[in-house]
Chain A
Amino acid sequence: MNDLNTRKKQGVRAFRHRLGKVQIPVALGMTVVWMLLFDGFQPRTESLGIALLGFTVSVAIMMVFPLPPIVPGFRFWPVQGVRMFFYVLVKMAVASFQVTAQVFRPGPPVKSSVVSVRLRTDSDLMLVCTAITVSVIPGSVIVEVAQPEHVLYVHVLGAESEAEAEKAKEDILELEERIVRALGTRENIAELEAAQAAGKGNT
């Protein structure tokens, strides 16, 4: 009998531990995805049930597959966020045309470069966001990420000279700046600005 009781207590403690790992913002995000999947945003009575079920499923998933929390998190800056969004869209369109031109260009095959870009912020989340955006923009593929140093190695299509490779690097750094300004915490932005000031002092 005693044995059963202690086991029960252990079970409850493990359950509580797992429950502590649930991150409410992430669960809410998953609920939104669930509702989009089931057309849950229509004004009807079922919507409430869909939302509730979605939230329950999200919490259950996070208890079964706990993930480490996102440190140090992010903060959305609306104006800069909208600017970043349109910047990426324009970049995508322009770069698509460039790749199209390279595809149909007659003559010898297109040359390319692998450049290394050292990011100026120390946050993993910013690293991931920058890497994804760089990958989505045509003409650049991430080949390797050096994690502790935050260096991205990017394969740039059509960068046939040192100058063009240099320009590609600057483009990626500008992209990083815009993303950090749109999604970074205050510390990230301060870090970025400090790095920028230091970079200007050197050159």
Chain B
Amino acid sequence: MSDQLVNVLDWIAILCILAGAMLSFVAAVGLVRFPDLLSRMHAAAKPQVLGLLLVLVGIALRLVPQEDTGTFSVGTLLLVGLFQVVTVPVAGHIAARVGYRTGRIREDLVVTDELADRLDTKRRAEAAQKSGGSTA
């Protein structure tokens, strides 16, 4: 590869890594500024995913022209990105679900809540079942 192209790729890589770092910074600020658990989850999990992906792209762009085997090392980066994207939602979902069900949620900040109705009817049905059935 020509020197010029490598230079251009380097600059793009630097921009990508910088943008990724900025997004992670935003996530950190959001963690401090947001008021309740669910909003914090947004800040903690999300801009950071895109941030990490951008950093990975940056590293890949630096790596590819490096050596003969550079292209193949990108495979590892691909795996990092893939597993990040697939696993972050699972962790986020569990934390959100537990937070919601244990009432760690500020009701004054939620405008419409369509899940509350469902949980209410469910709880009522369970309570009816318990009082109706035997104590054994």
A residues in contact (CB < 8 Å) with B: 33, 35-37, 39, 41-42, 92-93, 95-96, 99-100, 102-104, 109-116, 131-132, 134-146, 153, 155, 157, 159-162, 165
Contact = CB atoms under 8 A, between A and B. Distances in A.
A18 B79 CA distance: 29
Nearest to B75: A36
Q: Which are the 9 A-B pairs with shortest beta-carbon distances?
A: A135-B89, A138-B46, A36-B75, A109-B35, A103-B30, A116-B114, A153-B115, A113-B112, A157-B42
Nearest to B112: A113
Contacts of B118: 116, 146, 153
B111 A109 contact: no
Main secondary structure of the interface of A (DSSP, over half): mixed
B76 A37 contact: yes
Given A109-B109, A162-B112, A135 B76 contact: no
Contacts of A110: 34-35, 39, 109
A144 B97 contact: yes
Contacts of A36: 75-76, 78-79
11 contacts: A39-B69, A96-B46, A99-B26, A99-B47, A103-B30, A104-B26, A135-B45, A139-B42, A140-B42, A143-B97, A159-B112
Nearest to B73: A39
Contacts of A161: 111
Contacts of B38: 112, 141, 143, 155, 157
A127 B31 CA distance: 29
Contacts of A95: 46
A103 B50 contact: no
B93 A131 contact: yes
Given A99-B43, A157-B42, A135 B30 contact: no
A156 to B, nearest CB: 9
A51 to B, nearest CB: 13
Contact of A159 (B76, B96, B111): B111
A102 B40 CA distance: 12
A153 B50 contact: no
Contacts of A113: 110-113
Contact of A99 (B46, B97, B110, B114): B46
Nearest to B79: A36
Given A110-B34, A141-B41, A157-B38, 9 more contacts: A36-B75, A37-B76, A96-B23, A99-B42, A109-B36, A113-B112, A116-B118, A135-B93, A160-B111
Interface in B15-40: 23, 26, 29-30, 33-36, 38-39
Interface in B82-110: 85-86, 88-89, 92-93, 96-97, 100, 109-110
A136 B43 CA distance: 12
Contacts of A142: 89, 92-93, 96
B93 A114 contact: no
B49 interface: yes
